[in-house]
Amino acid sequence: MKKAAILLIIPLVVLLLGGCQGMKQEVNIEAEKAAVKKVIETNIGWAVNKDTAALYGSVAHDENLFWFSPDDAGTISGFDAFVNLTENFFMRPEFKAIRFELKELAIGVSQSGDTAWWHCRLDDFNEWKGQPANWEDVRWTGVLEKREGKWVIVQMHFSFPTDRVKE
């Protein structure tokens, strides 16, 4: 009798455990948006202190990372190319980040909670060799993926509004 009970209980426990794993977890969208906002701010704000650990922690470390720059020469594909740009431009002593401002920041998070996207207007104030090298009123969009519980940027796009470009 005990053997029969155990044989009935084991499949029941297995079904219950398997069913619980398949249950949809609720996503706290507002908490995820706050976490995404922090990653976005880190991704642009790292340069003030030249904190490459923070920057590299904000992006995907594989070939899926993609950055569309306003000009084709600055377009980056893959983490290695991103590190190369960072080390050979932003880390040079001639480059100095001053401050940034995100305007009209809008963040979306998927219902599953593993994908997010954003768009905003960016003012990024910098110097190159002591002269202003600002990006003002730049459109900045991007996509993040939640990997191993951490948000990372996998795609970014910067562009200047053509109706505001100065000749």
pLDDT at 36: 98
What backbone torsions phi and psi does residue 120 show, to the nearest 5 degrees?
A: -165, 175
At 13 the pLDDT is: 47
Strand segments (E) across 10-129:
66-68, 76-77, 95-109, 115-128
- Within the chain, which residues score under 50 in pLDDT? 5, 12-17, 19-21
Distance CA 18, CA 63 (A): 34
Pairing of strands 115-128, 95-109: antiparallel
Condensed to tens digits (0 to 9), the pLDDT of residues 27-72 reads: 899 999 999 999 999 999 999 999 999 999 999 999 999 999 988 8
User: Which domains can be identified in the chain, with CATH numbers?
Assistant: 29-164 (3.10.450.50)
Question: Tokens for 83?
Answer: 């590190």
